[in-house]
Amino acid sequence: MSISQVALRLQSGETTANELTAAMGCEPTSAVGRGEFVSARAGRGPVREVSTWVLESEIVSESVSEHLSKLAGALRRARGFGVGGEVAVDLVVAVTSRPMGSQIDLSVQDIAVLSENGCGLVVDAYCDDNDASDGYEDSESDRSSSPLS
């Protein structure tokens, strides 16, 4: 398993992306506002129901602890949002997974830091399409029965 990105994510159906930026005291890596079109290219269609504010750790490491250390200041600033507030606070870990032997290690200390700051954990896993070493190929019926499709 390879960690490709770790980010602090704030989401709110009431607070705007600009208000989240002001409250956090730093510029996000990316932000989108409630009411904006989901696809900016189309300029029409469904609109976002929540504002989303994202700050990436911007380091290369397989250690969740190292990413948490990099995001520690922002995580403390977000603390007030995460505990019973109307803003959801998550640590999003994007990983590339392999069929055999993939795992993410979270230490007791990592879990405590997330908990103390009212922060959830989201693991966004993607299959490494370039890894053909498992010898398996998905059948059409496997793909169509996926709960994510």
Residue with tokens 């830091």: 113
89 in Cβ contact with 61 (< 8 Å): no
> In the predicted model, is pLDDT for residue 99 greater than 70?
no
Q: What is the pTM of this model?
A: 0.73
d(CA 103, CA 92) in angstroms, rounded, equals 15
- The share of the chain scoring above pLDDT 90, in percent, equals 26
> In the predicted model, is pLDDT for residue 147 greater than 60?
no
Residue 94's beta-bridge partner residues? Answer: 5, 124
Whole-number mean pLDDT of the chain? 78
Q: How far is CA 110 from CA 50, 91, 128, in A?
A: 27, 11, 26
The pLDDT value given to residue 133: 47
The pLDDT value given to residue 148: 28
The pLDDT value given to residue 44: 75
